[in-house]
């Protein structure tokens, strides 16, 4: 079904909320901000509350509907959602594997209250049964399934059994003008309360089990056995925060760690790092690696999900097997002891992100997809 060329393409972005907790939420907010006006009309539909990103978008003038229900069992949620879809029908409905939103997106498409449905996947592990049920219910009626990398697409194609031609690959992107190398790294570290002369190994992440942050602490402990001029930074918050603090205290590493908590803009932390260390057991396409790379910081990361599609082993960083502290320690040590190589990798990763993973390119790919969905017969 095609739409009038004079009418803005109304795109619903639907989730339970748009909190400031991870890369997927940041990507959605970037796409909503970046879609060209007046060609597109982005609409935030948050089934519960808006969340930090959602509230920021609302203040910027993005149309928002929130609080349609109090829980998944709230019978009023469906009624309010149907009424809203009839009054302001979406030309494209975009959701993620977020269970409740994904389920209701499938309902709206099946009832023809949404012209087109796209599901954007941002994980490679379905930890909750409700997520698996929602995806299997909605994926068969989705017009497009969005993956982040070829490896990510292969995972979701095997999970959904959807034809591969229904998939489109849109890598995450970052604002390469905003995330750029700092003018004076030492002054920035002083401003952040970090030791200016130390080598800084860090990570920005949501503290949840899949990030495997105890392994980050283990690698830090091993590195400190042979090098003293090191400092480690874990930026973020989440359910694993207290256990991470306990692990750091148990190893008597408190003076070597900084945990500043969650932040709205992690740019300065990325700029302060020398190396980003990602110890996850599962990832899709980690925005934290792209942001660090854009700041000229190479990564040492585990070989999970789409990480090998981003980190070119030996050229722009190093990749180690999951749950392998020996390999991770070895590769971080290599970069610490070879400053020339580390600097060269920093230049290379910055160039690669600018060329292949910019926010501008990502938004253009989403806009192209939305246009395609709205011009199909």
What is the rounded average pLDDT of the residues 296-318? Answer: 94
Give the whole-angstrom CA distance, residue 354 versus residue 177.
9
Averaged pLDDT for residues 45-55: 94
**pTM over 0.85, yes/no:** no
Domain positions in the chain are 9-173+358-375, 185-356
Fold assignment, 185-356: Rossmann fold (3.40.50)
- The upper half-sphere exposure of residue 332, i.e. CA atoms within 13 Å in the direction of its Cβ, equals 33
Check pLDDT > 60 for residue 1: no
Mean pLDDT of the region 173-185: 95
Give exposure, 178-207, as e/b (b: 16+ Cβ within 10 Å): ebbebeebeebbeebebbeebbbbbbbbbb
pLDDT at residue 377 is higher than 60? no
Rounded average pLDDT over 89-116: 96
CA dist 122 and 14 (Å) reads 14
Chain mean pLDDT for the chain = 94
Residues 6+ apart with CB under 8 A from 341: 334, 335
- The answer, yes or no, to whether residue 90 has pLDDT greater than 60, is yes
The pLDDT of residue 64 is above 60: yes
Can you tell me the distance from the alpha carbon of 357 to that of 104, in angstroms, rounded to the nearest whole number? 31
Strands 230-235 and 199-204: parallel
* Cα-based angle 116, 165, 355 (whole degrees, multiple of 5): 90
Mean pLDDT calculated for residue range 251-278 = 96
- Give the pLDDT score at 347: 96
Span 97-118, mean pLDDT? Answer: 96
Query: Using 50, 70 and 90 to split pLDDT, how confident is the model at 2?
Result: very low
Can 9-173+358-375 and 185-356 be said to share one CATH topology? yes
Judged by DSSP in three states, 145 sits in strand
What is residue 5's predicted lDDT score, i.e. its pLDDT? 53
Query: Would you state the pLDDT for residue 305?
Result: 84
9-173+358-375 to CATH, choices 3.40.350.10, 3.40.50.2000, 3.40.30.10, 3.30.70.1450: 3.40.50.2000
């Amino acid at each position: 079904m095609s739409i009038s060329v004079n009418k803005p393409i109304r795109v619903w972005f639907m989730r339970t909320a748009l909190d400031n907790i991870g890369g997927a939420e940041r990507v959605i907010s970037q796409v909503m901000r970046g879609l060209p006006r007046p060609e597109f009309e982005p609409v935030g539909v948050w089934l519960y509350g808006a969340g930090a990103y959602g509230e920021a978008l609302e203040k910027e003038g993005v149309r928002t509907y929130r609080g349609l229900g109090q829980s998944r069992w709230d019978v009023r949620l469906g009624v309010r959602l149907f009424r809203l879809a009839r009054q302001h029908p979406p030309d494209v409905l975009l959701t993620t594997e977020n269970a409740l939103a994904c389920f209701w997106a499938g309902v709206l498409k099946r009832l023809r209250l949404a012209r087109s449905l796209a599901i954007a996947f941002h994980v490679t592990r379905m930890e909750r049964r409700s997520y698996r049920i929602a995806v299997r219910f909605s994926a068969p009626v989705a017009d497009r399934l969005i993956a982040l990398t070829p490896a990510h697409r292969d995972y979701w194609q095997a999970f959904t059994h959807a034809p591969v031609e229904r998939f489109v690959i849109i890598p995450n992107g970052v604002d390469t003008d905003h995330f750029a190398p700092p003018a004076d790294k030492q002054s920035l570290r002083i401003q952040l309360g970090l030791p200016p002369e130390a080598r800084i190994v860090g990570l920005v992440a949501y503290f949840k089990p899949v990030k495997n942050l105890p392994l980050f602490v283990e690698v830090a402990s091993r590195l400190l056995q042979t090098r003293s001029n090191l400092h480690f930074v874990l930026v973020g918050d989440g359910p694993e925060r207290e256990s991470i603090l306990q692990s750091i205290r148990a190893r008597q590493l408190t003076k070597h760690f900084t945990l500043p908590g969650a932040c709205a803009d992690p740019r300065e932390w990325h700029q302060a790092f020398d190396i980003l260390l990602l110890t996850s057991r599962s990832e899709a396409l980690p925005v934290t690696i792209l942001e660090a790379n854009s700041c000229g910081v190479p990564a040492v990361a585990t070989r999970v999900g789409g990480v090998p599609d981003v980190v070119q082993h030996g050229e722009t960083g190093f990749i180690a097997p999951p749950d392998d502290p020996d390999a991770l320690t070895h590769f971080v040590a290599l970069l610490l002891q070879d400053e020339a190589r580390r600097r060269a990798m920093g230049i290379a990763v910055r160039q690669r992100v600018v060329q292949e993973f910019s926010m501008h390119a990502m938004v253009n790919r989403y806009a192209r997809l939305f246009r395609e969905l709205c011009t199909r017969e």
